[in-house]
């Protein structure tokens, strides 16, 4: 590789790659968020009966958090093999695992049928979901990031990120439709199973599209270089990606983890915990709360590519910091608007929150991809993102629900999100700007142009 620069694929090819990543991540997030919504709405009654309603919700969210605990394991396993074997193969496996686990939840007997085995099986399937999602995110965003060029990487890499609101939109939309057309008794008896069983159809569509794309050219070149080095030095042993990440990029892993704190915590408070808070404290109906999240998720989907494109113009850090500062400032107005009980205010609260969240989430894919070299990029990006989820997104609905139970007020919850925002502001504030980096050039020891760009961008803020 003489120049160290990979030519971008034709526009039609890039769009197909973006579509494959987006559809795959949408299905994965649909499966993951569907569980979160069901945990807030029905799992407390179906799998944890006999408890106080709020205690049942806490237990339900505890199984929800278990999925996050498995995500770092998925990040380690998928990251290792994704850096060794390629992005595409691991993405196909993650989709099959996630879809299979979600479909099985739709067939799962409840506590009334098999007793305590029901929540145990539910927890096991949730672990499989978390394991699969831990490997999905890194591969999906890298497949796009490594196919594109630096000039518009933030925009194109933000499209797989829209899989989160698209999955949320799809999951919430299906649940909202079912709760509107079915009685509470019918929904609690069998209607809740329908969205989980639909996952089987979605996975088949996702696999058909995902199998049609090529492996990342940047990864192919890095793999060829590694093979050439091994051939030139027969005694050379390539370090495991995890070892290389922890030795050379441990600061970047910590930055990625810190950057995720406000993004992850705020998202699950806004989209999952709100179904508890709005219905129990603000007196809003379940249908109204679901509809508000549905509308806000559509706006969230639309603004993420716009934030990603802006990060190509002004840098990853400025856009990310706008979101981190904004979400911290929005928390008190967020709960105040929900407390009014008005549908318009509920929509406004959730929509503004998700727009600000998008300012962090959109540049995250390109930002994390640009931190790590190719043969450790899947491991580094996945580890930084998914280990943070254990401390951030996993306990967020659980902590918020516990704070509500203890204090009966939203103030401690708002302060909790604000504290996360401060952590993210510090992490992103000490990071270097990355938007000019060439991913292939990083593997050859960054060139003069890249070093100059990094020096220039270090003073953006």
Residue 32 has pLDDT above 80, yes or no: no
Judge whether 42 and 192 are in contact, CB under 8 Å.
yes
User: Which DSSP symbol is given to 86?
Assistant: -
CA 182 to chain centre: 31
The pLDDT of residue 242: 72
CB atoms within 10 A of CB 261: 26
Residue 447 has pLDDT above 50, yes or no: no
14's CB contacts (< 8 A; 6+ apart) are: 8, 147, 148, 156
In this structure, the chain runs to a length of 461
The pLDDT of residue 9: 57
The pLDDT of residue 226: 66
Q: What is the mean pLDDT of residues 62-83?
A: 81
Q: What is the mean pLDDT of residues 78-107?
A: 86
Closest CA to 147 of 77, 88, 59, 81: 88
CB atoms within 10 A of CB 6: 22
The pLDDT of residue 425: 97
Joined tokens for residue 132: 């699969």
The pLDDT of residue 460: 36
CB atoms within 10 A of CB 3: 11
Residue 440 has pLDDT above 70, yes or no: no
Judge whether 439 and 87 are in contact, CB under 8 Å.
no
- Residues 37 and 196: their CA atoms lie apart, in Å, by 12
Out of 16-20, 61-65, 246-250, 276-280, the most confident range is 276-280
Residue of higher predicted confidence among 57 and 340:
340
Q: What is the mean pLDDT of residues 292-319?
A: 94
Residue 369 has pLDDT above 60, yes or no: yes
The pLDDT of residue 236: 53
Task: Please report which confidence band the pLDDT of residue 265 belongs to, taking 50, 70 and 90 as the band edges.
Answer: very high
- Residues 285 and 400: their CA atoms lie apart, in Å, by 19
Judge whether 157 and 144 are in contact, CB under 8 Å.
yes
> SS3 of 6, please?
coil
- Residues 362 and 159: their CA atoms lie apart, in Å, by 8
Mean pLDDT estimate for the chain: 82
- Residues 400 and 397: their CA atoms lie apart, in Å, by 5
């Amino acid at each position: 590789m003489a120049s160290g620069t990979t030519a971008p694929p034709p526009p039609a090819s890039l769009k197909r790659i973006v579509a494959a990543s987006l559809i795959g991540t949408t299905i994965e997030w649909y499966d993951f968020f569907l569980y979160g919504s069901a945990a807030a709405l029905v799992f407390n009654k179906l799998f944890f009966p006999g408890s106080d309603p709020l205690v049942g919700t806490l237990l339900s969210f505890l199984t929800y958090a278990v999925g996050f605990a498995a995500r770092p394991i998925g990040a380690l396993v998928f990251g290792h093999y994704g850096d060794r074997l390629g992005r595409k193969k691991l993405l196909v496996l993650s989709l099959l695992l996630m879809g299979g686990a979600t479909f099985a939840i739709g067939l799962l007997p409840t506590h009334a049928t098999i007793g305590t085995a029901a929540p145990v099986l539910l927890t096991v399937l949730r672990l499989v979901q978390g394991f699969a999602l831990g490997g999905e995110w890194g591969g999906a965003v890298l497949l796009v990031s490594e196919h594109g060029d630096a000039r518009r990487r933030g925009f194109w890499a933000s499209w797989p990120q829209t899989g989160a609101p698209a999955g949320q939109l799809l999951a919430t939309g299906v649940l909202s439709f079912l709760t509107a057309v079915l009685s509470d008794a019918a929904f609690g008896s069998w209607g809740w199973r329908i969205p989980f069983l639909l996952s089987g159809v979605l996975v088949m569509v996702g696999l058909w599209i995902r199998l049609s794309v090529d492996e990342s050219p940047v990864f192919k070149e890095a793999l060829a270089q590694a093979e050439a080095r091994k051939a030139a030095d027969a005694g050379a042993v390539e370090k495991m990606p995890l070892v290389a990440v922890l030795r050379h990029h441990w600061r970047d892993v910590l930055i990625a983890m810190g950057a995720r704190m406000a993004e992850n915590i705020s998202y699950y408070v806004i989209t999952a915990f709100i179904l508890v808070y709005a219905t129990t404290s603000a007196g809003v109906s379940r249908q109204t709360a679901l509809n508000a999240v549905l509308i806000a998720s559509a706006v969230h989907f639309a603004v993420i590519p716009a934030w990603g494109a802006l990060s190509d113009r002004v840098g990853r850090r400025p856009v990310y910091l706008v979101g981190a500062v904004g979400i911290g400032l929005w928390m008190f107005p967020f709960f105040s608007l929900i407390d009014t009980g008005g549908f318009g205010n509920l929509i406004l609260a959730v929509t503004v929150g998700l727009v600000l969240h998008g300012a962090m989430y959109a540049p995250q894919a390109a930002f994390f991809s640009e931190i790590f070299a190719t043969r450790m990029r899947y491991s580094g990006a996945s580890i930084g993102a998914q280990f943070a989820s254990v401390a951030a997104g996993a306990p967020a609905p659980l902590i918020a629900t516990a704070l509500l139970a203890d204090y009966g007020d939203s103030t401690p919850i708002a302060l909790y999100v604000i504290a996360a925002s401060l952590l993210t502001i510090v992490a992103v504030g000490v990071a270097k700007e990355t938007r000019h980096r060439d991913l292939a050039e990083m593997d050859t020891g960054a060139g003069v142009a890249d070093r100059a760009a990094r020096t220039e961008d270090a003073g953006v803020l």
